[in-house]
Amino acid sequence: MDDARKAARIVGRILDREFPDPPIPLDHRDPFTFLVAVVLSAQCTDARVNQVTPLLFSSLGDTPGDLARARVEDIQEIIRPCGLSPAKSRALQGLSRILVDVHGGRVPGSFDALEALPGVGHKTASVLMSQAFGVPALPVDTHIHRCARRWGLSDGHSVERTESDLKALFPKARWNRLHLQIIHYARRDCPARGHRADACPVCAALAKAGLPVEE
């Protein structure tokens, strides 16, 4: 068994112990409110998004029809704390209009249809497919990309390579849970800054097994 597969077994065991049932960190009520939250989360913390979305939905509405009718300026004013508000406000209004005009006011459950929406790339579509529709996917954010390289699960060459490597190392049935597990674990135990390998259960276990740990 090569080093990456040995590391994957150790990582999987520890993640299952530490986060057996990881929650979705973005507050939402349905696929549409989840889609809005995921779009807002780009280069923004989940905590900040969870502070902004209640005001957005209470002020302008929480359906595609509501945001399709809202003025971009009004959306932008509310979501400004999330950053990138000009682009995000246009994307939210634009995708809402498409949902109303093309998809009957519902969020589509396919990668192609999601990625055709304004402001929705592969990662956002993967989050929706995995967490809203239960379709196996493994979206890679900065936490997952960093930890996969640090733990020797991928060479970190690109986000696309990391996604491919993780999918090869873990069974499809684990992908949706693994995505959330690594995010929660990375934030708590394996941060980008101030990381101590001896205080991180995964990094410590990998080192004990004689496997390389990147910083």
Alpha-carbon span 13 to 177, nearest angstrom: 13
Residue 26 near residue 37 (C-beta atoms within 8 A): yes
Quickly state the pLDDT bin for 156 (edges 50, 70, 90).
confident
Is 208 one of the annotated active-site residues of the chain?
no
Residue 214's pLDDT is 84
- What the chain holds in terms of domains, given with CATH numbers, is 3-23+138-208 (1.10.1670.10), 31-132 (1.10.340.30)
Please give the backbone phi and psi of residue 194, each rounded to the nearest 5 degrees, phi first.
Answer: 70, 20
Asked whether residue 37 carries a pLDDT value surpassing 60, the answer given is yes
* Among the ranges given (105-109, 110-114, 190-194), the one the predictor scored with the smallest mean pLDDT: 190-194
Q: Quote the tokens at residue 160.
A: 């696309």
| Catalytically annotated residue among 88, 123, 165, 189 | 123
Distances (CA, A) of 83 to 6, 40, 107, 203: 40, 8, 24, 33
Residue 162 near residue 145 (C-beta atoms within 8 A): yes
Q: What is the pTM of this model?
A: 0.92
Is 123 one of the annotated active-site residues of the chain?
yes
Helix, strand and coil content of the chain, in percent to the nearest 5, comes to: 65, 0, 35
Asked whether residue 206 carries a pLDDT value surpassing 90, the answer given is yes
Residue 140's pLDDT is 95
Asked whether residue 68 carries a pLDDT value surpassing 60, the answer given is yes
Burial of 32 (0-12, 13-18, 19+ CB in 10 A): buried
Residue 96's pLDDT is 98
% pLDDT > 90, the chain:
92
| Catalytically annotated residue among 3, 16, 46, 141 | 141
Residue 1's pLDDT is 47
Q: Of how many residues is the chain composed?
A: 215
